[in-house]
């Protein structure tokens, strides 16, 4: 677990050149994280692999926590990418389940990177790095949109938060090998069915 010495605000890339360097950094960190895991990734190695100056790296990512939290944010940005399977789901709850399962399978393809991301997200959460809250809000909105809930009640929002917490717990279990991928999928589907079955306007079961 990386230490977060200070929640220094990260710079945002502006020019095309800056944006290209920013993307190269994320890609390099993801590659190294997938190979080595969080503990064995050094900021110097990321800078070298991305071919940027170390000062550039630190300007955008004041810590490893910021860096791997940004990789998570990037993955979350792709959560609602269109897919035939999700589009074909007849029940909105199935659409949510398929979306969470697609992300879960994606994460399980690079377990060391996913572990790095989860550890950083946990550290960011406990250090109130603002990006962690933004990621949570983004996933929350994605689920509400899939459910077609334009005007969620307080209870709906709570159910979605409980689903996110359940999903997060299942991810930790499967990434650290405490449960199988098949069991994780069953639990995620069950969490969607039971928790979202309690939302406003849900058809009676």
- Where does this chain bind a copy of itself (CB under 8 A)? 1, 115, 119, 122-123, 125-126, 128, 133, 155, 158-159, 161-162, 164-166, 168-170, 172-173, 176-178, 186-187, 190-191, 194-195, 197-198
Minimum gap (Å) between residue 120 Cβ and a copy of itself: 11
> Quick one: 59 or 64, whose CB is closer to a copy of itself?
64
Minimum gap (Å) between residue 197 Cβ and a copy of itself: 8
> Quick one: 197 or 201, whose CB is closer to a copy of itself?
197
> Quick one: 1 or 54, whose CB is closer to a copy of itself?
1
Long-range contacts of 35-38 (CB under 8 A, 24+ apart): 35/112, 36/112, 37/112, 37/115, 37/116, 38/1, 38/2, 38/64, 38/68, 38/112, 38/115, 38/116, 38/119, 38/120
Instruction: Give alpha helix (H) positions in the chain.
Output: 16-36, 43-50, 54-60, 64-77, 84-88, 92-109, 111-126, 130-147, 154-175, 181-196
Secondary structure class of 110 (helix, strand, coil): coil
Minimum gap (Å) between residue 178 Cβ and a copy of itself: 7
> Quick one: 32 or 195, whose CB is closer to a copy of itself?
195
Minimum gap (Å) between residue 175 Cβ and a copy of itself: 9
């Amino acid at each position: 677990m990386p230490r977060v010495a200070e929640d220094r605000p990260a710079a945002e890339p502006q020019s095309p050149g800056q944006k290209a360097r920013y993307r190269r950094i994320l890609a390099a960190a993801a590659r190294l994280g997938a190979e080595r895991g969080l503990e064995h990734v050094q900021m110097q190695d990321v800078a070298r692999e991305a071919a940027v100056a170390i000062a550039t790296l630190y300007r955008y990512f004041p810590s490893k926590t910021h860096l791997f939290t940004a990789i998570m944010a990037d993955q979350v940005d792709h959560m609602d990418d269109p897919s035939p399977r999700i589009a074909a789901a007849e029940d909105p709850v199935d659409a949510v389940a398929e979306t969470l399962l697609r992300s879960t399978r994606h994460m399980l393809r690079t377990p060391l990177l996913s572990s790095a991301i989860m550890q950083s997200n946990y550290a960011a959460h406990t250090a109130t790095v603002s990006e962690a809250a933004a990621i949570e809000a983004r996933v929350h909105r994605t689920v509400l949109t899939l459910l077609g809930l334009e005007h969620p009640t307080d209870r709906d929002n709570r159910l979605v938060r409980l689903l996110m917490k359940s999903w997060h717990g299942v991810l930790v279990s499967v990434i650290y090998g405490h449960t199988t991928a098949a069991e994780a999928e069953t639990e995620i589907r069950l969490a969607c069915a039971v928790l979202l079955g309690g939302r406003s306007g849900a058809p009676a079961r």
